[in-house]
Structure 1
Amino acid sequence: MNQSAPSRSASPQLSAIALAVLALSLHCQVAAQETTAAPAATVQADPAGPAGVQQEIQQVVVTGTASSSGTRKIDAAFSITTATEEQLKMAAPSSTADIMKLVPGAYAEPTGGQSGANIQVRGFPSGSDSPFVSVQMNGNPIYPVPVLSFFEGSSSFRLDDTIERVEVLRGGPSTIYSVGQPGATMNFIMKKGTDTPEGSLRFTVGTGNLRRFDGVYSGKIAENWYGMVGGFYRVTDGIRKSGFPADDGGQLSASITRKLEGGELTIYARGTDDKNAFYTGLPLISANEGRSISAFPGFDPLTGTLMSNEMRHFTVEAAPGRTLDYDLGDGRGLKSTLFGVDFQQNLNGWQVSNKFNHFNGDLNTIAMFTGNNPLSAADYLQAAIASANANPEALAAAGGVRATSGTMSWVKGGAVSPNQQVVQAGLWAVEKKLRSSTNEFRVSRDIGAHTVTAGAYLANYSSRDRWFLGNSHLMSATPQASLINVRLDNGVVVANNGKDGNVFYAPVASYDGDNTALYIADEWRISDRIKLDAGVRREKQRLNASISNLGTVDPDGNPLTLYNNGTSVPTGSYTGLERDDSVNSFTVGGLMKLTKDSSVFVRANQGHTFIYFDDMRNAGTQEVLNDRSRVPTPKVKQFEVGYKTANPLYSAYVNAFFTDFTGISFQQITTTGVLYSVSGSKGKGVEFELALRPLAGLQLQLSGNWQDSEYKDNPAIDGNTVQRQPKFQYRFSPSYRIPVGDYAMRLYGTYSRIGSRWADQANQQYLPAYETLDLGVLAELGNNLELRISATNVTDELGLTEGNSRLTSGNGTGPINARPLFGRAVEASLTYRF
């Protein structure tokens, strides 16, 4: 029986949002006609100009604060980075994860495309995805668990012009509030309507035949009612040339705000239907144990990919007589709806806040995952002959005749040269349906010099999974690779239609989770210059899962067809697992103001991450899952001391940090299965965000961090450097606004240096340091019109963000698979503001 992957057509939920958006737009247009015309729109506030500097000094942050009204960034006793809409555009992030390059202490690997990034946080030990990064919309997590297998939080969010700003909190009081993330929290704040109607239309073209349209409009609907609507649609072939569209889809968002006496109520909704190609490793040449990396012959590492139209539509043998068809063009996409309610009210001196959202989405992964390093066709054939002759079932089916030779031919016709370099790559399909509802209620009251806050956080969430890992295919080590058939002279079929490996892991699983947390915090204003705060949180998590038991079959019943023998299939029976955990978290900090606009702070906290659904699956049995020594609840301890100052001439945010982790679970999905381990780590370092404004319109920014973090509590890796994290990284970003008649032009750029890293816990896969240069210009063409041109990786730097994570050995010398940076990309956008 043939089954096709689900259609990518527009969802009913997205259509419903579209109707709501149309109604809101009509209301806003009427309101706009009744409102006095606003001044002509111009380029957004220059970060180095008086307005931009004043905006930074007075910047109010709401993430990690006890009060819903927030506090000045410079008066916050914790580390937090902010970026306005204009600063985000100047950074030209290639994905949501790539925004983290603005954050000292974070290292994002966005080279997989729009989704599926790896994000590392200062000294936090993680191997892949983003277990220590939570993504929020308007202060509430989009999905309460930051990471699952084939899901990381940034994949659930797409950036567009409906976002006013982002706040990224690191450590600090985040262990107490909301989801209790001890690492980094990315909080995206949506725009709201105001008394002055305003909007923008933006059209962008660029490398990879990019075409994108963004639009947003906001304004007053009626007395005390305000609305905002916007979104984007984008299609591109991508910087890497696969022969089919890499990204295709869009998003629609809307909000309605009701102003109340002493508060407000905001209802928002977002529908996303976006598919994104996912890129893993490609062939490269390694020398000097990975210290030197160069291009593989005939393969441009900056624009090439193994994916091609020949393998775009592939088949998975799910069981005897049952095949499933998938499309690599679907990649790691997002088809979701998000609905939220944000309520804030002052009731007789009590500050009451309630944040609720509901998320429902499909986040499937239909992608290629590279396997063994490149080798010649002749070497592959010899290894295939030896393996087939060592296979008793295949040898018996061949009448006991051992293979002595074989033929390799292109699926599209013709013989394969023995000197042809070939690779193996799995075409994997993972279907993942996520659903969650979260709610945070808090109440605060001033009692003398104290502000006491109490709150409750609730989360209910689920994941429904169907996996098909393995499905190895043999192909040429060339851009837009061609598939290869292999047959031996004794009748054994090694590769058919390119497929040379079975599905080795095919679980079906259902997971459900509930979290309940209560917290209380107090901020004590000892004097106008000194304040202390402390808080405690008690959280309980309950998880349960139903995971299919697996067996193996030969789908065609023919031992001679090696490519599908031993295919993993569910047996029809299931293993039920459940786990309850309760933990305490705390935070304590203090801030002393040195002047009105400078301060020092200290902060200590202890947090946790709990175990996730995948830890249950990896445990395998209830007995192992209940063993806290084997599947522990991870604990995180942090200590920080920092200095903050901002004035028209310069600003500085500097802090030192110390971290200690125990019981962190790791998993590595290899070419043959899943490896699992537990360890801890300890680290220390310094983060910095500096800016100098020596001349009007000129700003020089420097941000980055130095750290020294290593593993502990696991003899196999004790003392090794924490993987994927550079000891030193920095970004230098100058910008200069030049008046041109009645208008202006802004020139800006960023030079980045990322230090060397280890791709694996064993410190065998070395990743060399690399440097990149990004440039941009923003020109006012009139009162309402502006042109922006930006270019990333201008110098076509060949830098690696990932080694071959499907292998456990080092890079060594010779051909390897690894994931490099995207090559030079240029975008030009024309924006009309009204």
Structure 2
Amino acid sequence: MKLRYLLLAFGASAIVHPALAQTSGEEQKPAAKAQVPEKEVFSTGVAKGRDRLDSATSTSAFRASEFEKLGPRPLGDLLRTMPGIRVENGIGEGNANYTVRGLPLAAGGSKYMQFQEDGLPVLEFGDIFNVAVDVYMRPDFNVAAIESIRGGSGSTFSSNAPGGLINLISKTGETRGGAIQTTLGLDYGEKRVDMDYGQPLGDGWRFHVGGYYRVGEGPRDIGFTGYKGGQLRFNVTKQFSNGYVRLHAKWLDDRSPTFAPYPVRITGTNDNPVITNAGNFDIRKDSLLSPFIGPVVTLNGDNKLDRFEVANGMRAISKSIGLEAQFDIGGFTISERMRYAANSGDFLRVFPSNVGTVASIAASQAGAGAVATYASGPNIGNVVPVDANGNGLLAFSYMAQTRARSLDNFTNDIRATRVWKMGQGDLTVTAGLYKANQKLNAQWLHAGIDTDVAGGAQTAMVNVTSASGVAQTQNGYYTFSRNGSRFRRIFDVSYDILAPYGSVNYHVGKLSIGGSVRYDRGRVRGTLIGADLGGGRVGITSFDINGNGVISAPETRVAILPLDQPAPVNYNYGYWSYSSGINYRVAEPFSVFARYSHGARANADKILFTPAVSAVTGGVPDAADKDDGVTQLEGGFKFRKAGVTLNVTAFRATAEDHNVLNGSANQTIRSYRATGVEMEGSYRRGIFSITAGATYTTAKITQDRLDSTLTGKEPRHQPAWTLEATPQIELRRVTLGANIVTITSSYAQDSNLLKMPGFTTVAAFVIVKPVDRVQLMLNATNLFNTTGFFDINQSEVPANGIGWARAINGRTVSASAKLSF
């Protein structure tokens, strides 16, 4: 509540700052409007900011002046429109899945790309189970630009980033001004206010402050306030004649629902499936969340009875403070970045484990002749009819409650760069030292419930009783565990990282050649608690959940943590990363380049609770389990002239992956290979402009060490083509535009049987400026209400025609009014 009042009070006086984009390690310049600038300086994941045509890297920059036209959207929705980046969203505000250039999406989050704010990681590992890095990131008016580097030197200028980097760069108040914007969902529940303000203060001082607050049901029917919270960010800069010092601070306290795969009908053939809604349950806008579901009743991390409200959803809390400085001293440019972030939160997913007819689900739990009755909602006590909700389905779902007690992150990155004259050219040498610590203190708590499958936020919990009258559920709860004792876990682990790095680049005439190297050393210490570790650890008990003195059937299925039998985690790792490239500026508007890179990613929590880590010593006997390498070869050309840009990069990548699919028992140890080409370009003529991108990829599993039948298969969720385009018409007072994203078909699972159909989504925007400093905007996401799928749990068309899948959200339309000064 304090955050809300601070933001609203600030919003009463704040107003809009023109979109700025950081174009070097320090200074910011206004984003180009009329044409592509003579120089496009890029600073993320490189030693020194350079014109993109003089750098042997594949990079993109998304300026605030452009992404703000798409309206307030989650980070995953924005990144989905950038070339070379593949995003599986539709999950909610965070926990989307990200990868780049054909590198595998073997599990959730972002394994191979690191996500940063102002050049430092938000979390050291982007794919922590149930708490991916994007849950702590919110694009708002504070962001001047989003930069991405794919492959290249990203692996040597950051740890755990062999695939590349995403960097959100903040405004820093160079120009006096600000804005306040209110947004209202016209056909869905959202009320939001955004604001920011910055200005120079004199004597070299300047500041910027901004944030948002929002409340509402959200894009799907859930029947309660799912979105509630906001963010406040601040920075102040002192400029000196030879450098600057900047202080950053962030306060995020925001909650939102997590959307899961939901029931659908699947018929047809594996190559051409027909996927339709299950009765009155619309896969685009409905959810199994409702006011009649929950709470999550379970034993907590202290083995004490606890209850967690479903409305808590995905609640992310982050408080951070950081220092940034850069000075030119004795011919050296010395830069220092440091940040400490206290991250925590509660994260709930409600996802189906089994979906079937009323009779089949009831019989699976209580035998032939079992009866299902409503345990909550308007029909409580009534028998569930065989044609309930037009689909006659019940779902047995797990309520996965993850308590992130601490994901605290400390990072310090110091580097020195000097440019020497050597012959006719410039030799740039950089040396740096990276120090980081990532905490992982999290609890996995679960309960299992029965529900019907109803649209319109009417899903209710269901009781199941045997034909002889013996109840197998209690108020809709079938179990207070998941898969018996599995996945009742406590992680309490610390990752301490030290990484020296350096680079050399020689630029003479039209030629630039360079290389970089990094060595990451990690020290991993901590404890794990869970019956999954074996060794006689007990994970199931009987517990009187409702306190009536009688142990019911579900009360015999209560998961308990063996708190007196922790297992150690005690191992070290180390790996080298290196990258070298050559760039030739053939002519002023045209350059060609080639680069070879190798990097790696420490495997973090994805090897915990697996045989890779000894439950007795905490060691990792096989060094190959500690980190996964990525090797990339890329080459292409860049062209920029008179309102036209075109960048084309061909690539070949190989990757190793130790993973666990969605926290399940399905461990994977694999090698992958991908080849393809990525393209991005822009064109502007008069009132018309367009930016576009395309990525073509072919990929295969070159070796599966646990299931040889999958060797040679195409990785799941790997479309051949990902395409995006944003055409616009800009008049003096009116701007019309659309963002179009297409992904082609891919396999639902690695067995390469069932194909997920490809789909195209269109987002549209209309901006009207009736008078100076006032802007009215109408935004529509998924304008044509397309049905598209990012995830289907089944590997082939099911015999009973019932499956569950994660779909994109249906159409949402919002209106915004913005006042700038």
User: TM-score, normalised on structure 2?
Assistant: 0.90
Q: How far apart, CA to CA, are the structure 1 residues paired with 2:366 and 2:211?
A: 55
**Distance apart, 1:523 and its partner CA:** 0.6
1:498: Cα distance to partner? 0.8
Distance 2:432 2:300 in 1: 48
Residue number in structure 2 paired with 1:36: none
Deviation at 1:594, TM superposition (A): 1.7
- In the alignment, is residue 784 of structure 1 matched against residue 757 of structure 2? no
Query: Could you tell me how far apart the structure 2 residues matched to 1:812 and 1:60 are?
Result: 56
User: Do the aligned partners of 1:518 and 1:537 also contact (CA within 8 Å) in 2?
Assistant: yes
The match for 1:172 is: 152
Q: Distance in 1 between matches of 2:559 and 2:213?
A: 39
Change (3 A) 1:321 1:161: closer
2:816 is the counterpart of 1:825: no
Q: What is residue 503 of structure 1 aligned with on the other side?
A: 481
1:467 and 2:444 equivalent?
Answer: yes
In 2: Cα distance, 1:467 partner to 1:495 partner: 22
How has the CA–CA distance of structure 1 residues 697 and 500 changed in structure 2, closer, same or farther, with 3 Å as cutoff? same
Q: Quote the residue 1:242 is aligned against.
A: 222
Alpha carbons of structure 1 residues 405 and 317: separation in structure 2 relative to 1, 3 Å: farther
Residue of structure 2 in register with 1:658 after alignment: 652
Which residue is 1:400 aligned to? none
CA–CA distance in structure 2, aligned partners of residues 637 and 43 of structure 1: 36
- Structure 2 partner of 1:325: 307
Cα offset, 1:184, TM superposition:
2.8
Residues 436, 461 of structure 1: 8 Å contact kept: yes
Could you tell me whether the CA contact under 8 Å between 1:123 and 1:707 is conserved in 2?
Answer: yes
Q: Does 1:158 align with 2:147?
A: no
1:133 Cα offset (Å): 2.3
User: 1:495–1:562: 8 Å Cα contact kept in structure 2?
Assistant: yes
Q: Which residue does the alignment assign to 2:370?
A: 406
Q: Is the 8 A contact 2:719 2:746 kept in 1?
A: yes
Aligned partners of 1:646 and 1:652 also within 8 Å: yes
Alpha-carbon distance in 1 for matches of 2:358, 2:497:
53
Q: Which AA in structure 2 matches 1:582?
A: G
Find out whether 1:640 has 2:634 as its counterpart.
yes
Paired-residue identity, %: 21
Shift of 1:90: 2.7
Q: Displacement of 1:92 after TM fit?
A: 4.1
In the alignment, which residue of structure 2 is the partner of 1:618? 610
**CA deviation after TM superposition for structure 1 residue 581, in Å:** 0.9
Q: Which amino acid in structure 2 is aligned with residue 88 of structure 1? A: F
- The CA distance in 2 between the partners of 1:189 and 1:682, in whole Å, is 32
SS of the counterpart of 1:303?
Answer: coil
**Could you say which residue in structure 2 is the equivalent of 1:6?**
none
Question: CA 1:313/1:549 → structure 2, altered by over 3 Å: closer, same or farther?
Answer: closer
**Alpha carbons 1:493, 1:560 under 8 Å: kept:** no
Over 3 Å counting, the alpha-carbon distance change for 1:440 and 1:51 in structure 2 is closer
CA distance in 1: counterparts of 2:488 and 2:692, whole angstroms: 47
Q: Distance in 2 between matches of 1:200 and 1:636?
A: 43
SS of 1:94's partner is coil
Equivalent residues of 1:178, 1:440 under 8 A apart: no
* Distance (Å, rounded) in 2 between the aligned partners of 1:321 and 1:582: 37
Paired residue total: 774
Judge conservation of contact 1:502–1:566 (CA < 8 Å) in 2.
yes
Q: Are the aligned partners of 2:267 and 2:797 in contact in 1 as well (CA < 8 Å)?
A: no
1:512–1:350 Cα change, 3 Å: same
Where do 5+ consecutive residues of structure 2 fail to align?
A: 22-29, 532-537
Partner of 1:34: none
CA displacement at 1:426 relative to structure 2: 1.1
Paired AA for residue 415 in structure 2: R
Quick one: which amino acid aligns to residue 322 of structure 2? G
CA distance in 1, matches of 2:302, 2:511: 71
The question of 1:606 aligning with 2:598 is answered: yes
Q: Tell me which residue corresponds to 2:402.
A: 430
Q: Using the TM superposition, give the Cα deviation of residue 674 of structure 1 relative to its aligned residue in structure 2, in angstroms.
A: 2.4
Q: 1:132 to 1:60 in 2, by over 3 A?
A: same
Report if aligned partners of 2:331, 2:418 keep a CA contact under 8 Å in 1: yes
Offset of residue 613 of structure 1: 2.5
Structure 1 residues 445 and 499: CA distance shift in structure 2, 3 A? same
> What SS is found at the alignment partner of 1:147?
coil
C-alpha spacing 1:335/1:688, structure 2 compared with 1 (3 Å): same
Offset, 1:758: 2.0
Residue 477 of structure 1 is matched in structure 2 by 453
> Residue 723 of structure 2 aligns with which residue?
730
* Aligned residue in 2 for 1:703: 693
Compute the displacement of 1:78 (Å).
Answer: 0.5
| 1:319 shift after superposition | 9.4
Structure 2 residue matching 1:617: 3-state secondary structure: coil
Q: What is the Cα deviation at residue 269 of structure 1? A: 0.3
Task: Pick which of 729-738 and 353-362 moved more.
Answer: 729-738
Does residue 415 (structure 1) correspond to residue 388 (structure 2)? The answer is no
For residues 55 and 72 of structure 2, the distance between their equivalents in structure 1, rounded to whole angstroms, comes to: 27
Opposite residue 677 of structure 1, the aligned amino acid is: T
> CA shift at 1:242, angstroms?
0.5
Task: Give the match for residue 755 of structure 1.
Answer: 744
For residues 8-48 of structure 1, the C-alpha deviation after alignment (integer angstroms, 9 at most, x for no partner) is x548xx99x989x97x999x99xxxxxxxxxx998999xxx
Secondary structure, aligned partner of 2:354: coil
Letter in 1 for 2:679: F
> 1:528 offset after TM fit, Å?
1.7
Q: Structure 2 CA distance, aligned partners of 1:327 and 1:84?
A: 38
Tell me whether 1:365 sits opposite 2:337 in the alignment.
no
Q: State the Cα deviation string for residues 656-699 of structure 1 (Å, max 9, x = none).
A: 0100123x1121247xx522121110110000112222x30211
Output the amino acid matched with 2:410.
Answer: S
3-state secondary structure, aligned to 1:699: strand
Structure 2 counterpart of 1:292, from 261, 274, 281: 274
- Whole-Å Cα distance in 1 between the matches of residues 115 and 18 of structure 2? 31
The structure-2 alpha-carbon separation of the partners of 1:276 and 1:765, relative to structure 1 and needing over 3 Å to count, comes to farther
Shift of 1:586: 0.5
Contact in 1 for aligned 2:366/2:465 (Cα 8 Å): no
Shift of 1:738: 2.1
Question: Helix, strand or coil: the match of 1:685?
Answer: strand
Q: Residue 740 of structure 2: SS of its match in structure 1?
A: strand
Tell me which amino acid in the other structure corresponds to 1:575: A
- 2:481 and 2:752 map into 1 onto residues whose CA distance is 30
Shift of 1:57: 4.1
Q: Which moved more, 1:479-488 or 1:508-517?
A: 479-488
Query: Per-residue CA shift, 1:585-619, capped at 9, x if unaligned?
Result: 10000111122232111110000001203312323
Closer, same or farther: CA 64–155 of 1 in aligned 2, 3 Å: same
Q: Distance in 2 between matches of 1:157 and 1:810?
A: 37
Q: C-alpha displacement at 1:108, in angstroms?
A: 1.0
Equivalent of 1:344 in 299, 322, 326: 326
> What is the rounded CA distance, in whole Å, between the counterparts of 2:767 and 2:460 in structure 1?
43
CA RMSD after TM alignment: 2.7
Q: What amino acid sits opposite 2:644 in the alignment? A: Y
Cα distance in structure 2, aligned partners of 1:240 and 1:59: 40
Partner of 1:716: 709
The residue type paired with residue 625 of structure 2 is V
Per the alignment, in what secondary structure is the counterpart of residue 69 of structure 2?
helix
Determine helix, strand or coil for the equivalent of 1:58: coil
Report how far residue 828 of structure 1 moved. 1.2
Change (3 A) 1:93 1:286: farther
What code does the residue aligned with 2:544 have? D
CA shift, 1:765, in A, is 4.4
Q: Write the distance in 2 (CA, Å) between the matches of 1:159 and 1:508.
A: 31
Alignment partners' CA distance in 2, 1:99 and 1:700: 17
> Which of 512, 515, 519 is the matching residue for 2:497?
515
Shift of 1:58: 2.2
